[in-house]
Each structure stands twice: as structure tokens, then as C-alpha cells.
Amino acid sequence: MMKLIIILLIPKYKDTTLNKIVTDWLYRYIKDFKENSANNKSSLEINYTLYNINNYSNIFFDISNSLNEKDKRKSILINLKDKKLSLITELYNEEELREKIDIVNKKYSSEISNKILTADINTFNYLILEDEFIVYFDNIYYGNISYDPLLNLGDSKESSFEDIKDKKMVSLTFDDGPNENTLEILDCLLTNDSKATFFELGNRMKNNREITKKLYDNGMEIGSHTYSHKYLTRISKNEVLNEINSVSILFNEITNDNIKLLRVPYGSVNSEVRNLSPFPIISWSIDTKDWLYKDPNKSLPIILDNVSDGDIILMHDIHKRNL
């Protein structure tokens, strides 16, 4: 008979009624986990993040070895005054929330955005932190999508959000570095008061620690592109974990901070890889093909002819451009 190992990190309130709300929710999940006939996993680990706002407590659970892929994130909202589970529409105005979430029309394909916009807004998972408000659309099936749709709605300190609907933005991302070319890109970004995300390879990060640290110190976002750029769908589970975890360890050694995003090489992902990844998997919407042309005069029109609000632009910082 399989022995079940359960590791729980749960918040503790001074009020026993509030504690019971949390433990009752967790025990229901654990019961389902144990009784699920299709589940052959022998361990369950649940961690949490908690933020209190306006007499509400948001508890965001990070679940390893969940019942299924869409259960790896769960959140609950507790009304601390009434001592009961609450809905997100009790804390935030539903019309305002829907207006902000409507930005998925520009961020994701129509197939994805239509599913999000027609779903019950209270069924999404919400991570409410001091300086950001993130919505995860885990409860919807998207088919073979290479990323988990989410929105960061910005500041959460007040019950109303900063108006972002008129701000048009794109994400600049650079893969495969760092190397000496990365510093040229950094200088250009700083000159133009801009930020970008660098998805770095662990084997290059290891040999260019000072460049990674300089990016980090200058406010750039750094994500993992795995250690050695392998097809994660073609290697074993342990190899996948090694490719992901080794970069996390290196980045923490260099910056004393933690990796938060993953871009899989070649966009090659399946349900097992998504389930193994402890981070959101970030894809792209515009491929500049700079790796092929190495000529900005050919790559730039690809961006300008296709770009729209919310796009994620894929570039690389390892190739010397032919100027």
C-alpha cells in the first residue's frame, strides 16, 4: 500500500474560527487527493502566500503534486470581520474587475480571451500582494497552450486599480544569454529608460555572473531559459527538473533573489513539463527571427508590421548584429 506523505505550510490566526476555515478547506483538498482513484502520487506539499487588505485575508496556495495540472494554484479569500469565506467580488467591484480583465482581448488570442471573459469571475485564482494583483485563469481548459494565461493588474494597496486601459505596452524579451552583447543591449535600454526580460541559460549565466548581476542591479527582469537549452519534452522527468532547478540555484547565488519565470527552449512544452515547472511558462507572440537574419533591417519590420498592445516580442542577445 502506498504511503502518503503530506507537507503543509498553513497560516495560523489567533482566532480559532478563522483557523477552522483554512483547515477545513485544506482537509477537503487532502481528502480528494487521497480518494482520487486516478492519482498515483505518494506526496503532497502545500505552501502559501498571504496578504491582508481591507479586513480581508487572501491566501494563495502553491500545491506540488496536485490532483491535476490546473490544481497547482488555489486561492481563498476570508472576510476577517464576518469570519467566513468570501468572493473576490465582495472585495473589488465586479464591473471594475471585468473592465480590467477585458485587456485579455489584446493580450491573448480570441479563443483564449473568449473563454476567460465568459467565465465566472469568482472562479479564477487571485494572488493579492502589497504591490501587485495577479489573476490566474487556471479553471479553464485551453487545449495545447504553451503557457498559463494570467494578468498582472498592478497595485493592490487600494480597492480600486490604477487605470491601465489607455496605456499601450509590449514586453521586450531576450533569450539565450548572457554574453558580451547583453551589455550593449542593457546600455541601449538604460539610455531609453526602458526595461526588458532576459531569459538566461544557466550554462552562460554560470560563466557570466557579473553580467547577470548587472542586469539585475539595473532593474531588468531575469527568467530561466533552462540550463542547456534542451527539448524538455524529449528528456526524462529528472533531467527536466535538473534543467530548471540548476538555473534557480545559480541565480540565487548571484543575486540572492529567486527566479520567477520560465521560457522553455523552442517553445517545446507538454502537460508534464507544465506540471513540473514551479514557475509560469512564458511564450511569445512575435518572433523577430533575429537569430536567422542577424540584421535589424529585416527584424524590425516584423515587429512594426505586426505589433499590438500586450504583445511579447522574442529576440536574442547572443548574436552580433550585422549593421
Active centre residues (catalytic): 175, 316
Among residues 235, 228, 308, which one has the least CA distance to residue 273?
Answer: 235
Cα 265 versus chain centre, distance: 16
Give helix then strand counts, H and E, for the chain.
Answer: 12, 13
Residue 121 in grid coordinates: 469571475
User: Which amino acid does the sequence have at 220?
Assistant: M
Residue 151 in grid coordinates: 494578468
Q: How many Cβ atoms are within 10 Å of 28's Cβ, its own excluded? A: 10
Omega into 178 within 30° of 0, i.e. cis?
yes
Strand partners, 6: 44
Note whether 173 and 199 are within 8 A (CB).
Answer: yes
Classify residue 167 by burial, with Cβ atoms within 10 Å: 0-12, 13-18, 19+. Answer: exposed
